[in-house]
């Protein structure tokens, strides 16, 4: 695996772990960008949205698009599959495996 792929997979896991920290398993994209950046990976909104779209296609998250003045705000909800992937119970190609149980 290349270093670039490892970083992408790790970033996707960090997204799921960030959602898992919330009691309602829900965050908006602005908060997610800050949480991922605080974990040590730089990320912009376009990269986050690409990762969220990937995770949505894998049924790990659902995305609500709320209208606002300068484009939609994405609100992300974690699914049961997303929780299992974040916990390391289920493996998903394209997301780093959680090694901490």
Query: What is the chain's pLDDT, residue by residue, as a tens digit (101 residues)?
Result: 799 899 999 999 999 999 999 999 999 999 999 999 998 888 999 999 999 999 999 999 999 999 998 899 999 999 999 999 999 999 999 999 987 65
Euclidean distance between the first and final Cα of the chain, in Å? 23
**Nearest residue to 85 via CA among 37, 30, 25:** 25
Number of Cβ within 10 Å of residue 70's Cβ equals: 5
Q: Phi and psi for 81 in degrees, rounded to 5?
A: -65, -45
Q: Are 63 and 56 in contact (CB under 8 A)?
A: yes
pTM: 0.93
Q: Is 57 left (phi over 0), alpha (psi -120 to 50) or beta?
A: alpha
Tokens 């049961």 correspond to what residue?
A: 80
- What's the rounded Cα separation, in Å, for the pair 54 and 12? 9
């Amino acid at each position: 695996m290349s270093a670039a792929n490892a970083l992408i997979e790790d970033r996707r896991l960090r997204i799921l772990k960030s959602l898992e920290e919330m009691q309602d398993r829900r965050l908006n994209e602005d908060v997610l960008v800050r949480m991922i950046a605080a974990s040590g990976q730089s990320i912009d909104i376009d990269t986050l949205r690409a990762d969220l779209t990937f995770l949505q296609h894998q049924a790990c998250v659902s995305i609500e698009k709320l209208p606002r003045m300068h484009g939609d705000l994405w609100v992300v909800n974690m699914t049961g599959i997303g929780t299992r992937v974040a916990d390391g119970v289920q493996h998903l190609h394209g997301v780093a495996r959680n090694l901490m149980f």
